[in-house]
Amino acid sequence: MPRHPEKHLRNQNSRTALTPTIAADGSIDYSSVTWKFPQYLATIFATFGAMAAGTTLAWTSPALPILKAAASTGNGIFGLDLTVAEGSWVGSILTLGACIGALPAGPIADQVGRKRLLTATALPFLFSWLLVAVAPNVHFLYCARFLAGLATGAVSAVVPIYVGEIAERSIRGTLGSFFQLMLTLGILLSYAVGALSASYGTLTISSAAVSALFLLGAVWMPESPQYLLAWGRREEAVRSLMWLRGVDNPIAVDMDVVAMEHDLSVASKEALDRGGSGSVGVLKELLTSPRTRKAAMVTLGLMVFQQLSGVNAVIFYTESIFALADTRLSAAASAAIVGAVQVVVTALAAVLVERVGRRFLLCFSSLAGAISLCALGAFFHLQSVASEGSTMQGLSWLPLVSLAAFVVAFSLGLGPLPWVMMSELFPSSVKGSASALAVAVNWMLAFAVTKNFSVLTSSLGSDGTFWGFSIVCALAVLFVAFFVPETKGKTEQEIHESMEGRRRQWRYSPGEPVKLVSPI
């Protein structure tokens, strides 16, 4: 029996003692020595950007009533007496900025790095809140919201990519769900501050504090090892991966590094085969490569269903919906309750995603969302046909329950999982550009829904509008059942092979060196 020394790997901060496993063939398996906490920590640092985006998304829900109340008493803040049309633009122009900001973010991140771009993105968030705080007229407010939208779009495109690249396979789905979780935390913060203080200044300062936290987190988080390897910076990639895996021995991460190099080498060869990694080459691969085409179809489909479910109309106009429903709770308190439910259930989804899989959660989420929105539409229908003077007190609970049920359903699947699967499905050769395109489509639809929500309710009625959203959720069930692959527990290579519908055997040996042809 060959003699193998027992090796105990301790990290530099003496956080824990870790022992590798002796395999049956006598080799040492280092997969058991990694510590997952640094991956969670880096993910939290990165997703502070999602939290900052959440505060900007939900800001209009408490802020617009505050501005309206101040104007009605003659104490308008800096003279901001917004009309209905101006308030609609304040709410929706952020999503237009996010659509524009997402498009260049992926390719830029491939050039300058995920860490550098996210660090730079925190600055527009901070400057936008400065403009909000001192805005003398609505045009300054438009500029602030649009600037925050640019940053939100960039964060939405880059953070899921970064998290997907740093996460181990066993927790990739859980960490990927952190994007939506932190987004909901930002939404809850805005709702809670609006409900507790009703102060324009406090609301602005608390939102700016989250953006400052994002800046600090982005400065301290490590760069993605895949990005470093793509640019030939192997030593830096090894150090980054050692930090992320919680070890201080390069041997413990060697297999991961070699696997990443292999995937990047394959992606580089494919980029050369299609004529380069520029925008024309990326577009050519999206149209001609079966696996990339299917990845684009699935990702774009999930983004479409996520936004056409009406979720952003709910987020932007939560208080207005409850005020219209004439519930006994105040509109601000109702919004805070919905935000809290969203946070709790999104956290639950992060735990369940690696247990029950992506497809099950997406199907359940879509079906439950369809039922809850149908019930909400039924309430508004009964309210519209009720006799004059009827208060509907016997059903005053239904809007809160229906909307809370929708938030629960959305947060279990349609909310977090499109972001998770976007980072999993696209190959490295097109991940940056293709993800940016998917995010741009997502925010374009968010803009269309939020800007036209009042038009929809005017033309179709509140009942018809929510019934339309319900039909979209029902169609999402069929889309997931027939087109969306399961990615739970699969490596990047296995996912891409499943997208092609067949198994491919790469001519690759873990022991042979891999030469990268060109950066992604």
DSSP 287-341: HH-HHHHHHHHHHHHHHHHHHHTTHHHHHHTHHHHHHHHT-SS-HHHHHHHHHHH
Which structural domains are found in the chain, ordered by start? 37-230+264-500 (1.20.1250.20)
Of the candidates 361, 368, 308, the one whose C-alpha atom is nearest the C-alpha of residue 481 is 361
Of the candidates 176, 206, 188, the one whose C-alpha atom is nearest the C-alpha of residue 416 is 176
Tokens in use for 484? 């969306």
The answer to whether the beta carbons of residues 48 and 218 sit under 8 Å apart is yes
Residue type at position 235: E
Residue type at position 158: V
Tokens in use for 228? 């470093």
425/139 Cα distance (integer angstroms):
40
pTM for the full predicted model? 0.81
pLDDT per residue of the chain (520 residues) written in tens, 0 to 9: 334 333 333 333 333 344 555 555 444 445 555 678 999 999 999 999 999 999 998 888 888 888 877 766 655 565 577 777 788 788 888 988 999 999 899 889 988 999 999 999 999 999 999 998 887 788 889 999 999 999 999 999 999 999 989 988 888 889 999 999 999 999 899 988 888 887 888 999 999 999 999 999 999 999 999 899 988 899 999 999 989 988 887 887 888 888 888 777 776 776 666 555 555 666 777 777 777 888 889 999 999 999 999 887 776 666 666 665 555 667 677 778 778 888 999 999 988 988 888 999 999 999 999 999 999 888 888 877 775 555 566 676 787 788 878 888 998 999 899 998 888 888 777 888 888 889 999 999 988 887 788 788 888 888 899 999 999 999 999 999 999 988 887 877 778 777 765 444 333 344 444 343 334 4
CA distances from 206 to 315, 321, 463 (A): 18, 25, 35
Gyration radius of the chain over CA positions: 24
226/59 Cα distance (integer angstroms):
35
3-class state of residue 177 by DSSP: coil
459/252 Cα distance (integer angstroms):
62
| Distance separating the N- and C-terminal Cα atoms of the chain | 45
The answer to whether the beta carbons of residues 392 and 382 sit under 8 Å apart is yes
